[in-house]
A and B are shown apart, each in its own frame.
Chain A
């Protein structure tokens, strides 16, 4: 079961636009570690042609599913082994909230953001192969009660497949919504996720976005999230990367109009041979906007965690501010963290700060805890908990405690 990248047209009925993406892909080729922005991502052994569309869907019952998702939601879209499962999904019932799939002629592919060649490669693959566009629309002034949850499960069926989710969340003026993305890997076989998520936030609207990535141990996970922000909006994003063999999250924030504020937070917890990458680009095009970034990583084994944070402050970004902090905790000799802030500032009427720290568990604190009878493992847990809380406590929907438990269990 292999999927040949179409050279002419995409899925029948999708029209010519797809041609363009396929040619992008052909011309540029897949990224390799030789490219600067992909330097840290472990891509060895990645072969796109191996991942076809799933022709067999494993089963998951409601009880198992319930262990992994939010108890109460405003709507839940469940995709199993790459295939949408209407019987497991709950469509939003609240007036003003709509979820739908668009395919064929109705599928309007979003443009690939200019200047972002690196993400563009995977976005092009996504555009060429996405079966449909999942669109969630929140009408103006609607306050969505409970999170909208998007759940991708890969079962332990052993089916190797590739999926290319294309999701758009449209938040109307002065609306408020929380979106939770889940990636749940129940198997240990190779799978590919290559996702594009656009979150378009209209004037005065507020969005909170959380992503819990727990793909299986042999999964490839690539995701690009693009925020387009109107005037006086706020957006919070919190990405927790726990699973996959190689995972790369790119976030692009476009401040299109004045007065918005953004928080990008992330936690990556890696072990074994995992490679967990975070690549953020915040484009301050408009005045009076503020961005905050806090990324933390805990790495053991031979895991590699990377954070590359680009901030663009163009001439139009007057009275804007940005702060960025990335800290990584290395629990083993062979674990590795790469942290690279990249501030490109063409405006002297802005404030910008950034910091990075890579270190080990504090030996003094470890001894102090042990001197109180606390075992090495428990002392480590306490310090890791202390380290990760700062990010986890900002998670919505009571996710903090269960995620913390998962984090500690993974590192034990």
Chain B
């Protein structure tokens, strides 16, 4: 599904990812943890294809093909989805129009017709219910004035609408209250299936109570310093990162 090989990424000339290797199979859920500034969001942007995140060596293969020459839109059309750590407010663009434009862009890339207004509304309502969001949000401008938690729900709503094959969730749990965490996790879990893979970036074990990972990786200073199963997250919760950082430096 996703194969990242010895990835080096610079941002504004500074090396941030320094030889990161990660392999994900279909249907797998991988968690990425790691201290602030270790490069987690950089990894997610590099996969999504953000300008300014320069891959200096290594490769990102998605379903066997390199995505490095693809624009962010083409990667999304190929089935990649990034739930942003900081969703962007876009005043003047209605959420509903945004969702329809996005869905139709993906359909067009697959050679399908645009979705008709009726089926679109039904799909929208179904997915709104999944993340327990009120329909009134779709009449507001994209993320504009949404609370932190509402923005995260809206990310999961988009994910549910677009049905990607690889979901990257960058701290989708940050800023959520306990109820919202439950709702968002349930929304994510509902999307889990044997072919859809998920890369879940988080600082907290509590999310992993809800979304159980198959693998846990610790990112330190631009590299995967340790990988394990879900018990690694529990260890981190107890012991912090120091022992891994010390091990990585050694």
User: Chain A interface (Cβ within 8 Å of chain B)?
Assistant: 362-365, 367-376, 378-379, 382-383, 385-387, 389-390
Apart from A364-B88, A367-B51, A369-B90, 10 more pairs, CB < 8 Å: A368-B88, A370-B71, A371-B72, A371-B81, A372-B105, A373-B77, A376-B73, A378-B101, A386-B93, A390-B92
Closest CB in chain A relative to B88 CB, distance in Å: 4
The CA of A184 and the CA of B178, in the complex, are separated in Å by 60
Closest CB in chain A relative to B103 CB, distance in Å: 8
Q: At the interface, yes or no: B137 with Cβ under 8 Å from chain A? A: no
B102 contacts A373, C-beta separation under 8 Å: yes
A386 contacts B105, C-beta separation under 8 Å: no
The CA of A372 and the CA of B84, in the complex, are separated in Å by 11
The CA of A385 and the CA of B141, in the complex, are separated in Å by 13
Q: At the interface, yes or no: B148 with Cβ under 8 Å from chain A? A: no
The CA of A297 and the CA of B226, in the complex, are separated in Å by 53
Q: At the interface, yes or no: B50 with Cβ under 8 Å from chain A? A: yes
A375 contacts B87, C-beta separation under 8 Å: no
In the complex, residue of chain B having the shortest beta-carbon distance to the beta carbon of A382:
B93
B182-193 vs A: 1/0 string, CB under 8 Å? 000000000000
The CA of A383 and the CA of B92, in the complex, are separated in Å by 8
Among A365, A373, A383, A389, the residue within 8 A (CB) of B76 is A373
Highest count of chain A CB atoms <10 Å: which of B49, B51, B73, B84: B73
In the complex, residue of chain B having the shortest beta-carbon distance to the beta carbon of A377:
B73
Q: At the interface, yes or no: B145 with Cβ under 8 Å from chain A? A: no
The CA of A367 and the CA of B158, in the complex, are separated in Å by 15
> B88 — which chain A residues lie within 8 A by C-beta?
362, 364-365, 367-368
Q: How many residues of B contact A (CB 8 A)?
A: 30
Among A363, A375, A378, A385, the residue within 8 A (CB) of B51 is A363
Q: At the interface, yes or no: B91 with Cβ under 8 Å from chain A? A: yes
The CA of A385 and the CA of B51, in the complex, are separated in Å by 23
A-B contact pairs, 9 of them (CB 8 A): A364-B88, A367-B88, A370-B76, A371-B48, A372-B76, A376-B71, A382-B90, A386-B93, A389-B92
Closest CB in chain B relative to A158 CB, distance in Å: 41
A375 contacts B90, C-beta separation under 8 Å: no
Chain A interface, DSSP helix/strand/loop, else mixed: helix
> B71 — which chain A residues lie within 8 A by C-beta?
370, 376
The CA of A378 and the CA of B114, in the complex, are separated in Å by 15
In the complex, residue of chain B having the shortest beta-carbon distance to the beta carbon of A386:
B92
The CA of A311 and the CA of B71, in the complex, are separated in Å by 47
Highest count of chain B CB atoms <10 Å: which of A370, A371, A387: A371
Q: Which are the 6 A-B pairs with shortest beta-carbon distances? A: A386-B92, A373-B76, A372-B102, A370-B72, A368-B88, A373-B105
The CA of A370 and the CA of B158, in the complex, are separated in Å by 13
A371 contacts B109, C-beta separation under 8 Å: no
The CA of A362 and the CA of B92, in the complex, are separated in Å by 13
CB contact under 8 A between A368 and B87, given known A374-B73, A382-B93, A385-B92:
yes
The CA of A382 and the CA of B48, in the complex, are separated in Å by 20
A375 contacts B84, C-beta separation under 8 Å: no
The CA of A365 and the CA of B81, in the complex, are separated in Å by 16
A382 contacts B72, C-beta separation under 8 Å: no
Among B50, B90, B97, B102, the residue within 8 A (CB) of A365 is B90
Q: At the interface, yes or no: B82 with Cβ under 8 Å from chain A? A: yes
Among B49, B73, B82, B162, the residue within 8 A (CB) of A375 is B73
Closest CB in chain B relative to A348 CB, distance in Å: 35
A382 contacts B76, C-beta separation under 8 Å: no
In the complex, residue of chain A having the shortest beta-carbon distance to the beta carbon of B75:
A371
Q: At the interface, yes or no: B60 with Cβ under 8 Å from chain A? A: no
